Amino acid sequence: MTIKNNKALLQQYCNAYRTSEFDVAAAAARKFFLPDAVIEIVHPFNKQVGSDAFINDFLKPLSHSFENLRRSEYIAMGGEFEGAQWLACTGYYNGNFIDSWIGINPTGALAYLRFAEFHLMKEGKAVKSYIFLDIPALMMAAGVWPLKQTVAKHAGYVGYIPGPATLDGLIWNQSNPESSHKTLQLTEKMLRNLATVDEAWRVDWHDDMTWYGPAVFGAFQGKEEFAGFQTPFENTFSEWISAIMPDSVTNHFTRMADGEYSCLGGWPSLNMIQVKPFLGQEPTDKRVFMRVCDFWRRDGDLLVENWVIVDALHFLLQLDCDVLKMLSDENTM
C-alpha cells in the first residue's frame, strides 16, 4: 500500500462521521482498524485493544452523551517515520451534550471536543493508533474545570480553535517530496532549539505565528506572546527534555511532514522534573512525563501555525491530582 492509498482509507473513515448515525461510524471503525489493533486514548480511556473495545468503550458512550454526534477534520496528512507509514488528522467532534460523559455533567447545548489521532498502517489497516482529546477544553466550556489554567504571563485564549488560515490542511493527494522534506527539517530544527537560554527557536517562527495550545495552557498569537508562555513553562521544571533530543528517555512514535504541514506525537513526548507550582499543583521534585501531539504549518521559510494537544489529565495524575475524582466529589456534595 502506498501512502496515497492509505490516505484514501483514512478519508473513507473520516467521511463516516459526516452522518450522526452511530452504526455507520462503528462499521467504518471495524473496517479501518485491525480487529486486534492497539488504540491508545488519553486518560481515562488509555489502552484499548481491538476495534470492538474502541467502539464499545469510547465511541458508543460518546455518541450516547453527544446527541447527533458528528466529526470534522481540518488537517489530514500522511508520511513515513522510521520506515513505517503513518496517517494523522485533527479537528472536532461535536453534538448536543445531553448526558453525562466521564463524569462531566451535560450542558444541554451544542458542545465541541477537539481531537487528534495518529495511525500506524500495515496492509491497509490501522494496527496501532494514538488518540488525543482536549478534555479540559470541554470541562472549561461546561464551567467545571477546577484548576488554574496556565503558567504564562497571562491566560491564553480558550475556546473554539480554528483550522489553517489557508484552508488547505486536508492533504488527500500526494504532496511535493521536496516541500515535505523542507517542512520536516525546519520543524526538527525548531524543536531542538526549544529550552535554550537565548530562545533560539525564534528564528524559525513568523512574527505573527499562532500557537493553538491545549485549553490548560491557552492559545497565543505572536512570538512575544508565545514566549510569555513557553519560557515560564520550561522554567517550571529543572529539566525539560523533548523526545527529539538524543539523551531523552522518551520517544516520538511518529514525526513526519506532508507538503507544508508536519506533525508528531509522543506517548509520552516530554519528560521533566517539576520544581515550581504548575496548574495550581505544588512542586513534587519528581520526574514526570507528558503525552503530547503537534501539527504545524509552514509558510515559506518559517513556521506560522501550531496546533497542540496534551493529555493533561494523565499528566496531573503524576502530580497527585485526579481531576475526574475532584469532579466526582463535587457532583456528590
Q: What is the pLDDT of residues 189-209, one digit of tens each?
A: 999 999 998 999 999 999 999
pTM above threshold 0.85: yes
- Burial degree of 332 (CB within 10 A; 0-12, 13-18, 19+): exposed
* Below-70 pLDDT ranges, the chain: 149-150, 333
From the CB of residue 211, how many other CB atoms can be counted at a distance below 10 Å?
23
Residue that has been written with the C-alpha cell 521559510 in this structure = 301
Fold of 177-327: Nuclear Transport Factor 2; Chain: A, (3.10.450)
pLDDT on residue 151: 75
Per the CB < 8 A criterion, the answer to whether 288 and 271 are in contact is yes
Q: What is the pLDDT of residues 135-156, one digit of tens each?
A: 999 999 999 999 976 677 788 9
Tell me the domain boundaries of the chain. 3-141, 177-327
* Statement: 3-141 belongs to CATH 3.40.50.300: no
Per the CB < 8 A criterion, the answer to whether 37 and 112 are in contact is no
pLDDT on residue 333: 61
Q: Which amino acid is at 15?
A: N
Q: One fold for both 3-141 and 177-327?
A: yes
